[in-house]
Amino acid sequence: MTRWCARVWADRDHYELVRAREDTSVTVPEFPGDPREFTVDLAGDEIAIGRRGVPDEGRAGAETSADDPGIDLTGPPRDPGVSHLHAMLLAVGDDRWVVLDAGSTNGTTLNYGGELLTPGTPVPLESGDTIHVGAWTTITVERR
């Protein structure tokens, strides 16, 4: 059985591209000094990419809920350019995935391209493609 996963990491190359954009509406902070990297197995029909809201009194910060994104970019470090619901990964059949921007504030790009994805429009992914969100976050999808 083929398995897909997503490696999430702070990407200096993506960060420099964001800083170089003339139309950046977010003040880009310094690149994180101690970024974390993690991997998420892609399973199910859809996976939200984004960050949790601020925990309320009835919910401790480490707990998760059904509304939390499958690829949680809450941090640390907190990437200021990531929306609560930034993008979605959708399964297409047994062995294909597409990505779509969910109407994020700062947009989503692929493979270091400068053109933002059109919100709500699915874009097919190949193993090894990179999804760029926020000021420095890159998600590499891989078939294993």
pLDDT digits (tens, 9 = 90+) for 28-62: 789 998 888 999 999 999 999 999 875 544 444 44
pTM of the model as a whole:
0.88
Q: Which position has the higher pLDDT, 27 or 47?
A: 47
State how far the Cα of 35 lies from the Cα of 11, in Å rounded to an integer: 9
pLDDT digits (tens, 9 = 90+) for 56-86: 444 444 455 567 899 999 988 889 899 999 9
Name the DSSP class of 104: -
Looking at 59-105, which runs of residues are DSSP E strands?
71-72, 85-92, 96-101
Nearest by Cα to 131 from 6, 12, 18: 6
